């Protein structure tokens, strides 16, 4: 094992870790705002990737119809709960219709990377807030366990639909740009640079969003104290929907970023999501910079263990969180908490 | 349901499989349901009742199944020897895994166990000893009196008889001293710890118990299936068991059986009906199942069991029993509690600043002061719930500082809480009996085997006595959280009295009480004083405090403002200005 | 691939078929348990579609197929087998798609004296022959047959060192065992033995480890599109040696995902995949072409996969045995099931899409070297090697 191998492994680990970091961030966000452990996060990665790959090959992705169906369901759910009909109609009926129209028009034309990525994002992202409205809003007061199981139910549905829409085999898309950067022995593919750059940009964006915008501050307020936020006029349902939308967008974007680099399957997302979780737990499910660092560490650990003992890679990666957790819990002596 | 339901249930286990006309495949389904239910009972104890979410239960099923499979194939041992081996292996594994993961709370634990489950799956799949991915096949069937249990009917009897025994054992466990400790973990752990419950040990016990049930299920699984490999022990399987528990009702043992039945039957029926409705291409089972699950969660977040079998409150019969031994009370007037220059800082904020005072036996001392003066923080420092930044707390001259809450309880310090902390799912008298936790010894095994009845009778007689003393005897069998808030405070006092305390700390006991209830409370406290109990109370009701206490300690902004008799304090100019002046 | 709507028209057909089947005499019922979801879905789905092509009537008897999904889970596979036998009263079982699930089903088949035709790779399903396995048949080529073909090709091309990478599951494990046997026989050194998971996003670590051993050739043992990832990574690292794959990759999705990076790959496959390139004298050609034509007519051009043909072969085997078995008893009876078993065991020179089978009491696969050809990938298509 020479320095070149070390360098390549570190680079590979960091690129994967960047994806885990994005997922970890959105998991932390959703949990903080809604107390939902967002298990279906992985499906958004797979949907984003496979929708983009379908557009890339010039065909209409099946997920488009799911968007319309979810929009209609979300509209019905919103109307039943006496939401503002006009606004609901715009967000859950008109929006999918517009996206569908654009996709049907543009997809056969093979409009290029930027348009495809934008379309894939527009198809996949709104599903998340629709799912929040249909599935989680009625459970806002339920325990974390019930919310977790509801998330598992959504995961089952989305994974099953993923198989129907995208089939059991994987897909890959052409790279955003066909260039690579040479640094001595190390060759960085252009796509890896895209991943690192966009991840960094997205993190900076999130930092700005939470630090300096009213909406971002409102989300943070909800995360700190749900009741308090409601008392000062921040609607829990609204902030939940926004958190889900952000998570959906981040998931879909992660998928779009990785699909030119590796093959993505309808069920790829779960394990990627689980590693994002691992990073989020290591970071303590509350710290954004911590989650990013932990995610990069998980990626690098994974990369090295696949070199050293590939059959036991998952064993190593998933066992590694235990000493970390132990250290954390020893450091913070928790008193008996009264949350369930 | 009568107490004797297990007998007809066992008889049914033996007879039902032989009913003429029972479709053969139902036997298969019932076998799987039974095995799942045994495991899910463990999930109910661990997750629904103990509040710990574990996604590693299928891994423990795997430990049990592999243990028996390895012994009976590699070493040719009798499958019956596999059972103790399965239990031992799984219990040890749970002990080790629990020691590492149970320090985690809530969702951390759920995700930590998910990681463990992933890790163990790939470990099973990559070790030659376990036959790698293909697993171990050719496991011999169980033999009973020379009869080979390959027939689904005989095996059904065995599985369901085990399930009945497991339910009986679990109900016994939950209705024991240790069981109340486990039940207090969800929502009442802090209070339980203040009454001497070793909460980490209770967590560990629940974890090991659930793992043992999973191992029993795994043993049954291995000899039913007669082959094992990693797939049934992966994360997905663990998730499915959790679904069963939540769908059925994670708070009740019956919910485990209901959940196992529902999930198995729904999946089976979907398999029959969906191809007829949607065609033979593609597969929609998991999609429809997920939708059903979501719909059920939205209509019944606590599971279906409470909706189907609602609201039967069992009346606990209190048998006359020999009174529990009492503590030797100190001589009236002798020093009990000494607080010396106690301080607590939270970052830059000084909540308690160099407070010193003492409470003697047979004395009621009031701790008063405006909101935020540091009274409740002082309580927490004295009872070991929080650690002081500096200073000392002494009980009979021995330092309590740094001792855990349960050690302090052991020495005879009992308390009530400003925000009532009663265990939500438990009846009033069961909550009160937690106060007597340290006055019993029975362990988990004694509880499971019902060897603890004599001791339990004594504990509950004591609880009933204290409940009568505070005037709530009529409410004994109601759910504690159904009482009015004022009454819940009084229940907390009864619980504290069950500890047989030398020092009683009461945090706003009179809040929410009606006038005559206050009078009764005051009378009770006077009687306790006469018995030699030292009482320290925080209270905002000035009439109540002034009439009852021997001395008052006045706090403001974390510091002691004054100390003395009610009359002296009332005349103290500093107190008048800072506190009473504002009030009058 | 993408955007397939719910196939409602098939629902109608199925309902009609179910209604029709209840009329008249007891039909012959064939129970199928395959993995149409989960990690082995790329095997199970083409199998499910191939089952729809099987004959609905044999020797004047209606034949009914009941297809259940086991998701690759052994518990479910066993439950399915019991359900099919106890509830649907099937006369024979087909399945499952994976080796562990097939192994677990053997006990049920033997206990209920119902013949079973496995669609999985490992020879362990039918060897060593014993009283239980007497009920079990297997239509895919045994993995040792395929491994031998690779070994022969490697020896002929002077390959001395090989790096192995396989799925971290039963398929990869099975191949690791077989290839170690072959390598020892041919004097080939295995310089790396690596594993990767189907959904792994990166295999860079494994590939670096393999390259460190400077192998003459690489053998990748995976099924479907995931097997392309190590090859793409090797390509990125400018690996110049020969890359061998297994017959698990043989579908067009692999070519689609692999693109130009998988050109020149060498692999053994069932002859079905390159049926059009077979000489007309080969008896397999006509049969395989018929399957391909029917499958692609129903599912679109280029949709055929070798895994699907195994299910078709299982149907062919049963259809050949049914007329003989009917003499032993009526469908639904133990006599008929025993007859089916015996008739399958007695098959001699049965032509199937993947080969010509001659069964015996000790060989329940019956394929010979005609059941495999070596192919390469050239110009984005499978090309038969001489």
- Residue B286 in any domain: the answer is no
What's the mean pLDDT in B552-579?
85
ipTM confidence score: 0.90
Structure confidence by residue, pLDDT tens digits, C311-370? 999 999 999 999 999 999 999 999 999 999 999 999 999 999 999 999 999 999 999 989
Question: Which chain A residues are Cβ-neighbours of B46 within 8 angstroms?
Answer: none
Task: Write out pLDDT tens, residues C177-208.
Answer: 999 999 999 999 999 999 999 888 899 999 99
Q: What is the pLDDT of residue B376?
A: 85
CA angle B227, B230, B231 (to 5 degrees): 95
**Contact B197/A at CB under 8 A:** no
> Are both B128 and B214 inside the same structural domain?
yes
Rounded mean pLDDT of B73-91? 94
Residue from C149, C145, C104 nearest C121 by CA: C145
Of B27, B122, B275, the CB nearest to C14: B275
Helix (H, G, I), strand (E, B) or coil at C116: strand
Where does a domain end: B214, B234, B254? B234
pLDDT in tens, A41-70: 999 999 999 999 999 988 899 999 999 999
Nearest alpha-carbon partner for C74 in B135, A115, A64? B135
Spatial neighbors of A271 by CB under 8 A, at least 6 apart, are A42, C197, C199
- Range of the structural domain that residue A187 is part of: 3-172+181-331
Let me know if residue B577 belongs to a domain.
yes
Dist CA B69 CA B135 (whole Å):
10
Q: What is the mean pLDDT of residues C217-237?
A: 92
- The architecture that CATH gives domain C8-141+320-367 is 3-Layer(aba) Sandwich (3.40)
Radius of gyration of chain C (CA): 21
Q: Does C73 touch chain B (CB under 8 A)?
A: yes
Residue C24: pLDDT over 80:
no
Residues B485 and B510 in one domain: no
B486 with B537, same domain: the answer is: no
Average pLDDT over residues C94-102: 91
C244: helix, coil or strand? strand
Within an 8 Å CB–CB cutoff, is residue A132 touching chain C?
no
Compute the average pLDDT of residues B120-126.
91
C79 touches chain A (CB under 8 A): no
Task: For residue C96, say if its preceding peptide bond is cis, omega within 30 degrees of 0.
Answer: yes
Give yes or no: residues B512 and B486 share one domain.
no
Taking the C-alpha atoms of residue C66 and residue B275, their distance in angstroms, rounded to an integer, is 10
Domain count, chain A: 1
Q: B297 vs A149: CB contact, 8 Å cut-off?
A: yes
Instruction: From B234, B262, B296, give the residue that closes a domain.
Output: B234
Instruction: Please state, as a whole number, how many other Cβ atoms lie within 10 Å of the Cβ of residue B55.
Output: 26
Please determine, for residue C20, whether its predicted confidence score (pLDDT) is greater than 50.
no
Nearest Cα residue in chain A from C168: A311
| Tokens, residue C44 | 């199970």
**Per-residue pLDDT averaged across B95-105, rounded?**
83
Among B6-15, B32-41, B74-83, where is mean pLDDT lowest?
B6-15
Write the CB contacts of A303 (distance below 8 Å, at least 6 apart in sequence). Answer: A9, A10, A12, A13, A16, C202, C204, C205
B341 with B478, same domain? no
Tell me: the pLDDT tens digits for B15-51? 888 888 888 888 889 999 999 999 999 999 999 999 8
CA angle centred on B467, ends B463 and B469, rounded to 5°: 120
How many CB pairs lie under 8 A apart between chains A and C? 131
Rounded mean pLDDT, B127-131: 88
Determine, for residues C201 and A304 on separate chains, whether the beta-carbon distance falls below 8 Å. Answer: no
Q: How confident is the model at residue C132 (pLDDT cuts 50, 70, 90)?
A: very high
Q: Which of A271-275, B391-395, C112-116 bottoms out in mean pLDDT, i.e. has the lowest?
A: A271-275
Q: What is the mean pLDDT of residues B564-572?
A: 86
Nearest to B98 by CA among B211, B15, B222: B211
Does the beta carbon of C385 lie under 8 angstroms from any beta carbon of chain A?
no
Q: Which of B463, B497, B531 is the last residue of a domain?
A: B497
DSSP codes, C150-181: HHHHHHHTT--EEEEEEESSHHHHHHHHHHHH
| B320 occurs within a structural domain | no
CB B59 within 8 A of CB B116: yes
Identify whether A76 is part of a domain: yes
| φ/ψ of residue C32, rounded to 5 | -125, 125
pLDDT in tens, B295-344: 999 998 889 988 888 666 678 888 888 888 888 888 888 999 999 999 99
A309 at interface of B, judged by CB pairs closer than 8 A: no
pLDDT tens sequence across B142-170? 888 777 877 778 889 999 999 999 999 99
Average pLDDT over residues C230-234: 93
- Hey, what are B138's tokens? 């050719």
Tell me which residue in A15, A168, A272 faces C42 most closely, judged by beta carbons.
A168
In which domain, by residue range, is B210 found?
A: 23-234
pLDDT at B356: 93
Residue A337, pLDDT above cutoff 60: no
Q: Which residues of B touch C51 (CB under 8 A)?
A: 280
pLDDT band, very low/low/confident/very high, at A109 (cuts 50, 70, 90): confident
The pLDDT of residue B216 is above 90? yes
Radius of gyration of chain A (CA): 20
% of residues, chain B, pLDDT over 70: 97
CA A153, A156, A158, A160 torsion-angle sign: negative
Q: What is the pLDDT of residue A70?
A: 94
Quick check: C204 and A163 CB within 8 A? no
**What pLDDT, on the 0 to 100 scale, is given for residue A340?**
35
Among the ranges given (A234-243, C35-44, C251-260), the one the predictor scored with the smallest mean pLDDT = A234-243
pLDDT over 70 (residue C19): no
C194 CB neighbours in chain A (<8 A) are 310-311
Which spans in B428-484 are helix H? 428-434, 444-448, 453-469
A73 occurs within a structural domain: yes
* A180 vs C: CB within 8 A: no
pLDDT of residue B106: 67
Q: Is A149 on the interface with B (CB under 8 A)?
A: yes
Measure C139 CA to nearest chain B CA, in Å. 19
What whole-number distance in Å separates Cα of residue B224 and Cα of residue C234?
46
**Could you tell me how many residues make up chain B?**
584
Taking the C-alpha atoms of residue C350 and residue C359, their distance in angstroms, rounded to an integer, is 9
CB-CB neighbors (< 8 A) of A311 in chain C:
168, 194-195
Q: What is the mean pLDDT of residues B178-206?
A: 91
Residues 74-113 on B with a CB inside 8 Å of A are 100-101, 103-108, 110-112
pLDDT at B439 (0 to 100): 93
Peptide bond before residue C195 is cis, with ω within 30 degrees of 0? no
Domain assignment present for A340: no
Residues B140 and B201 in one domain: yes
In 10 A of CB B566, how many CB atoms?
A: 18
B291 CB burial (10 A radius; 0-12, 13-18, 19+): middle
DSSP per-residue string spanning A90-119: IIIIIHHHHHHHHHHHHGGG---HHHHHHH
A41 and chain C: CB distance < 8 Å anywhere? no
- Rounded CA-CA distance B423/B416 in Å is 13
B5: in domain: no
Q: Where are the domains of chain C?
A: 8-141+320-367, 143-269
CATH no. for residue A44? 1.10.3470
* Chain A contact set for B51 (CB, 8 A): 340
Chains that touch B (3 or more CB pairs under 8 A): A, C
pLDDT given for residue A338 in this prediction: 41
Q: Give the mean model confidence (pLDDT) for residues A5-23.
A: 89
Q: Does A188 touch chain B (CB under 8 A)?
A: no
Task: Taking each helix axis as running N to C, give the angle between helix B235-248 and helix A144-166, from 0 to 180 degrees, rounded to the nearest 10.
Answer: 130
Q: Is residue A322 part of a domain?
A: yes
What is the pLDDT at residue C21?
45
CB contact under 8 A, C67 and B282: no
Residue C57 — very low, low, confident or very high, per pLDDT cuts 50/70/90? very high
Domains C8-141+320-367 and C143-269 share a fold: yes
What are the residues whose beta carbons fall under 8 Å from the beta carbon of A321, sequence distance 6 or more? A278, A281, A282, B112, B115
Mean pLDDT, range C213-217, rounded to an integer = 94
- Chain C residues whose beta carbon lies within 8 Å of the beta carbon of residue B232: 73-75
Residues B199 and B155 both lie in one domain: yes
Sorting pLDDT into bands at 50, 70 and 90, what band is C6? very low
Q: What is the CATH number of domain C143-269?
A: 3.40.50.2300
Write down the pLDDT at residue A335: 46
Count up the domains in chain B and report the number. 3
Which of B269-278, B538-547, C118-127 bottoms out in mean pLDDT, i.e. has the lowest? B269-278
Residue C13, phi then psi, degrees to nearest 5: -60, -40
- Record: contact A305-C236, CB cut-off 8 A: no
Residue B156 lies in a domain: yes
CB pairs under 8 A between A and B: 148
Question: pLDDT value at position B290?
Answer: 92
Burial C342-370 (b: 16+ CB within 10 A, else e): bbbbebeebbbbbbbbebeeebbbbbeeb
For B456-461, the CB contacts below 8 A with 24+ separation are B456/B176, B456/B177, B457/B319, B457/B321, B458/B321, B458/B322, B458/B323, B458/B324, B459/B177, B459/B324, B459/B433, B460/B316, B460/B318, B460/B321, B460/B429, B460/B433, B461/B318, B461/B319, B461/B320, B461/B321, B461/B323
Distance (Å, rounded) from C-alpha A267 to C-alpha A163? 8
Alpha-helical (H) ranges within chain C are 8-22, 41-51, 74-86, 99-111, 143-156, 170-186, 204-212, 228-236, 252-258, 283-299, 306-326, 334-345
Assess whether B78 and B214 both reside in one domain: yes
CA dihedral C111, C114, C117, C119 (to 10 degrees): -50
Q: Report the gap between the CA of C339 and the closest CA in chain B (Å).
A: 24
Quick one: B72 and B84 in the same domain?
A: yes
Q: Which of C11, C90, C311 to mutate to test the interface with B (most CBs of B within 10 A)?
A: C11
- In which band, very low, low, confident or very high, does the pLDDT at A205 lie, cut at 50, 70 and 90? confident
Interface test with C, best of A310, A312, A314, A316 (most C CBs within 10 A): A310
More confident site: B482 or C5: B482
**Between C84 and B144, residue with greater pLDDT:** C84
Residue B301 near residue A143 (C-beta atoms within 8 A): yes
Which of B263, B298, B302 should we substitute to test contact with A (largest number of A Cβ atoms within 10 Å)?
A: B298
Q: To the nearest whole percent, how much of chain B has pLDDT over 90?
A: 51
**B1 pLDDT above the threshold of 50:** no
């Amino acid at each position: 094992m020479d320095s070149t191998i070390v360098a390549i492994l570190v680079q590979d680990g960091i690129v994967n870790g960047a994806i885990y970091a994005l997922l970890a961030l959105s998991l932390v966000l959703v949990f903080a705002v809604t107390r939902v452990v967002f298990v279906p996060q992985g499906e958004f990665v797979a949907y984003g990737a496979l929708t983009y790959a379908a557009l890339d090959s010039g065909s209409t992705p099946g997920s488009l119809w799911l968007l319309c169906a979810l929009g209609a369901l979300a509209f019905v759910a919103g109307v039943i709960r006496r939401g503002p009909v006009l606004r609901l109609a715009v967000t859950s009926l008109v929006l999918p219709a517009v996206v569908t129209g654009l996709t049907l028009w543009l997809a056969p034309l093979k409009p290029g990377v930027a348009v495809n990525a934008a379309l894939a994002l527009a198809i996949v992202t709104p599903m998340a807030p629709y799912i929040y409205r249909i599935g989680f809003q009625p459970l806002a007061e339920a325990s974390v366990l019930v919310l977790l199981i509801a998330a598992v139910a959504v995961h089952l549905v989305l994974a099953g639909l993923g198989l129907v829409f995208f089939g059991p085999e994987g897909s890959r898309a052409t790279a955003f740009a066909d260039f690579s950067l040479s640094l001595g022995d190390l060759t960085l593919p252009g796509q890896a640079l895209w991943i690192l750059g966009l991840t960094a940009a997205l993190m900076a964006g999130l930092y700005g969003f939470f630090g300096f915008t009213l909406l971002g501050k409102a989300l943070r307020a909800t995360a700190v104290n749900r009741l308090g936020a409601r008392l000062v006029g921040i609607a829990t349902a609204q902030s939940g929907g926004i958190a889900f939308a952000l998570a959906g967008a981040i998931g879909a974007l992660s998928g779009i970023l990785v699909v030119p680099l590796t093959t993505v399957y309808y069920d790829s997302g779960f394990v990627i999501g689980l590693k994002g979780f691992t990073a989020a737990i290591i970071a303590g499910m509350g710290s954004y910079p911590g989650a990013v660092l932990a995610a990069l560490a998980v990626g690098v650990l994974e990369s090295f263990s696949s070199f050293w003992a590939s059959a036991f890679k998952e064993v190593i990666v998933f066992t590694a969180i235990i000493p970390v957790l132990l250290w954390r819990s020893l450091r913070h002596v928790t008193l008996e908490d009264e949350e369930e | 349901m009568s107490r004797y339901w297990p007998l007809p249930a066992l008889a049914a286990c033996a007879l039902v499989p032989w009913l003429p006309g029972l479709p053969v495949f139902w036997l298969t389904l019932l076998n799987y349901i039974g095995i799942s239910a045994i495991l899910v009972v463990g999930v109910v104890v661990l997750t629904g009742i103990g509040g710990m979410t574990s996604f590693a239960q299928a891994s423990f099923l795997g430990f049990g199944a592999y243990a028996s499979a390895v012994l009976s194939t590699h070493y040719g041992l009798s499958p019956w020897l596999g059972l103790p081996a399965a239990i031992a292996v799984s219990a040890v594994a749970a002990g080790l895994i629990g020691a590492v993961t149970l320090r985690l709370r809530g969702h951390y634990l759920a995700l930590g166990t998910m990681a463990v489950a992933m890790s163990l799956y790939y470990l099973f799949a990559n070790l030659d000893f376990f036959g790698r991915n293909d697993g171990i096949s050719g496991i011999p069937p169980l033999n009973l009196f020379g009869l080979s249990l390959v027939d689904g009917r005989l095996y059904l009897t065995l599985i369901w008889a085990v399930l009945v025994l497991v339910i009986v054992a679990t109900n016994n466990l939950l209705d024991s001293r240790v069981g109340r400790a486990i039940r207090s973990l969800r929502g009442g752990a802090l209070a339980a710890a203040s009454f001497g419950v070793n909460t980490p040990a209770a967590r560990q016990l629940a974890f090991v118990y659930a793992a043992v049930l999973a191992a029993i299920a795994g043993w049954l699984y291995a000899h039913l299936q007669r082959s094992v490999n990693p797939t049934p022990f992966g994360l997905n399987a663990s998730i499915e068991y959790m679904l069963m528990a939540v769908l059925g009702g994670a708070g009740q043992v019956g919910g485990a059986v209901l959940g196992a039945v529902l999930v198995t039957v729904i999946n089976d029926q979907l398999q029959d009906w969906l191809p007829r409705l949607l065609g033979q291409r593609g597969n929609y089972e998991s999609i429809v199942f997920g939708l059903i699950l979501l719909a059920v969660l939205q209509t019944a977040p606590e599971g279906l069991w409470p909706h189907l079998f609602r609201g039967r409150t069992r009346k606990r019969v209190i048998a006359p029993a020999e009174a529990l031994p009492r503590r030797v009370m100190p001589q009236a007037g002798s020093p009990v509690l000494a607080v010396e220059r106690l301080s607590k800082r939270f970052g830059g904020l000084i909540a308690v600043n160099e407070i010193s005072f003492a409470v003697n036996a047979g004395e009621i001392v009031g701790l008063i002061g405006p909101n935020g003066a540091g009274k409740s923080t002082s309580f927490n420092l004295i009872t070991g719930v929080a650690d002081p930044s500096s200073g000392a707390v002494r009980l009979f001259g021995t330092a309590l500082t740094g001792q855990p809450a349960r050690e302090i309880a052991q020495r005879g310090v009992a308390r009530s809480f400003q925000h009532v902390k009663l265990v939500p799912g438990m009846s009033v008298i069961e909550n009160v009996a937690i106060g007597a936790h340290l006055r019993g010894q029975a362990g988990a095994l004694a509880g499971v085997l019902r060897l603890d009845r004599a001791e339990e009778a004594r504990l509950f007689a004591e609880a009933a006595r204290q409940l009568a003393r505070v005037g709530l005897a009529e409410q004994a069998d109601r759910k504690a959280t159904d009482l009015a808030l004022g009454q819940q405070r009084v229940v907390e006092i009864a619980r504290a009295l069950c500890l047989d305390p030398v020092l009683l700390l009461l945090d706003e006991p009179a809040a929410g009480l009606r006038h005559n209830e206050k009078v009764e409370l005051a009378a009770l406290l006077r009687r306790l004083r006469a018995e030699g109990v030292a009482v320290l109370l925080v209270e905002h009701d000035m009439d109540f405090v002034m009439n009852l206490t021997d001395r008052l300690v006045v706090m403001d902004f974390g510091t002691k403002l004054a100390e003395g008799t009610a009359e002296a304090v009332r005349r103290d100019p500093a107190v008048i200005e800072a506190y009473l002046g504002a009030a009058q | 691939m993408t955007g397939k709507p719910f196939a409602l028209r098939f629902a109608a057909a199925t309902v009609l078929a179910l209604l029709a089947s209840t009329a008249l005499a007891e039909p012959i019922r064939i129970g199928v348990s395959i993995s149409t979801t989960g990690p082995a879905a790329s095997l199970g789905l083409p199998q499910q579609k191939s089952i729809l092509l099987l004959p609905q009537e044999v020797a004047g008897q209606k034949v009914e197929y009941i297809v259940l999904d086991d998701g690759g889970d052994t518990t479910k596979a066993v439950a399915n087998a019991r359900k099919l036998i106890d509830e649907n009263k099937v006369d024979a079982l087909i399945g499952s798609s994976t080796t562990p699930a097939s192994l677990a089903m053997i006990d049920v088949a033997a206990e209920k004296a119902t013949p079973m035709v496995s669609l999985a790779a490992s020879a362990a399903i039918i060897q060593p022959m014993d009283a239980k396995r007497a009920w079990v048949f297997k239509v895919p080529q045994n993995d040792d047959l395929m491994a031998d073909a690779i070994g022969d090709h490697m020896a002929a091309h002077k390959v001395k060192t090989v790096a192995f990478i396989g799925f971290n599951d039963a398929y990869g494990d099975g191949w690791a065992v077989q290839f170690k046997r072959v390598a020892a026989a041919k004097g080939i050194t295995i310089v790396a033995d690596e594993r990767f998971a189907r959904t792994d996003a990166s295999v860079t670590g494994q590939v670096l480890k393999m390259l460190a051993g400077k192998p003459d050739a690489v053998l990748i043992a995976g099924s479907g599109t995931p097997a392309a990832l190590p090859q793409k990574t090797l390509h990125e690292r400018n690996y110049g040696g020969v890359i061998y794959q297994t017959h698990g990759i043989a579908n067009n999705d692999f070519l689609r995902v692999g693109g130009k990076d998988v050109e020149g790959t060498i692999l053994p496959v069932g002859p079905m995949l390159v049926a059009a390139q077979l000489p007309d004298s080969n008896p397999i050609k006509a049969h395989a072409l018929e399957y391909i034509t029917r499958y692609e007519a129903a599912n679109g051009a280029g949709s055929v996969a070798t895994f699907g043909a195994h299910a078709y072969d299982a149907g062919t085997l049963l259809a050949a045995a049914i007329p003989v078995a009917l003499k032993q008893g009526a469908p639904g009876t133990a006599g008929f099931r025993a007859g089916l078993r015996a008739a399958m065991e007695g098959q001699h020179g049965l032509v199937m899409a993947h080969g010509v089978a001659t069964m015996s009491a000790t060989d329940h696969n019956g394929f010979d070297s005609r059941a495999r050809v070596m192919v390469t990938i050239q110009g984005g298509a499978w090309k038969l090697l001489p």
